[in-house]
Amino acid sequence: MKNYRMTLASLIGLAVLSTGVYLGLAKAQTPPIPIKHVLVVAQTNGFEHDSVPDAMAAVYKMGHDTRLWETTLRTDTENLTKKDTKKGNFKNLNYFDAIVFASTTGEMDLTDDQKADIMSFIKEDGKGFVGIHAALDTNYKWPEYGEMIGGWFNEHPWGTFNAPIIVEDPSFPAVRHFPAAFMKKDEIYQAKEWSRDKVNVLLRLDETKLNFNNPRVHRDDHDFAVAWSKMHGKGRVFYSTLGHTKEAWDDPDITKMYFEAIKWVLGMTEGRTATHVSHY
């Protein structure tokens, strides 16, 4: 009996050892998923939103908590270049996989070379861009920026209000968690030099619930997109006007939208960018 127990113990030990070796080999043979790198830029040379720190912190926390990406936070434009300055621990665009403009405003401090590098980063390298709220209210003197993001800010006719929103593409990962129609208290931008035949509208205002007697309404088509996806060359682009208020960044619906949007521009999920006609 004693010999049996010793044999059994030996067998168990051998099994544990073999399992450990097997798991170790399996672990060694499974390459780790490389963590992505996201650059958040929040330079404001125009109106400065109180929500900028909240937006930046939210993107950092998303990456930190999920370990899907590491975030570099900047309020300047120094990293928006492909040049290697050889300075300290400097990281240029070649290091990053996506750029997020967090309510940038005005004409950003960018040289012509930097502008070309940003467009090359998106258009040719196939890397991602996410525009948060006032990212539409910037770089008016840079035509390709407007082409890349989809247009420019042209007032917010209703200010911050309980916006009636309709989901147009419920299959898209950044908006599939929303109900078909919902309300959010936020500031919805009106866009100029924007057309739905150049983007995939994900969310729009419900035009049947809007007051068009407002003199600041400039779109005769009454088409007010709240979020869209598109391609710029090989790169994925996402924009949403949501996120104006500090409170928006405490709303799990909004943070989930931007979390999924960043994942999408990083190529972690799939979603359409093809244009479609309006549902109204």
> What's the pLDDT at 219?
78
35-265 fold: Rossmann fold (3.40.50)
> Which of 31-40, 75-84, 210-219 has the lowest average pLDDT?
210-219
> What's the pLDDT at 69?
98
| pTM check: above 0.85 | yes
> What's the pLDDT at 30?
54
Angle of CA points 170, 175, 176, to nearest 5°:
50
Could you state, in order of their start, the residue ranges of all structural domains in the chain?
Answer: 1-31, 35-265
Model confidence at 31, in pLDDT bands (50, 70, 90)?
A: low
Task: Return mean pLDDT, the chain.
Answer: 88
What is the average per-residue pLDDT within 191-214? 90
Model confidence at 12, in pLDDT bands (50, 70, 90)?
A: very low
Model confidence at 208, in pLDDT bands (50, 70, 90)?
A: confident
Model confidence at 176, in pLDDT bands (50, 70, 90)?
A: very high
Check whether 11 has a pLDDT greater than 50: no
> What's the pLDDT at 249?
98
SS3 per-residue string spanning the chain: CHHHHHHHHHHHHHHHHHHHHHHHHHHHHCCCCCCEEEEEECCECCCCCCCHHHHHHHHHHHHHHHCCEEEEEECCCCCCCCCCCCCCCCCCHHHCCEEEEECCEECCCCCHHHHHHHHHHHHHCCCEEEEEHHHHCECCCCHHHHHHHCCEECCCCCCEEEEEEEECCCCCCCCCCCCCEEEEEEECCCEECCCHHHCEEEEEECHHHCCCCCCCCCCCCCCCEEEEEEEECCEEEEEECCCCCCHHHHCHHHHHHHHHHHHHHCCCCCCCCCCCCCCC
What is the average per-residue pLDDT within 157-175? 94
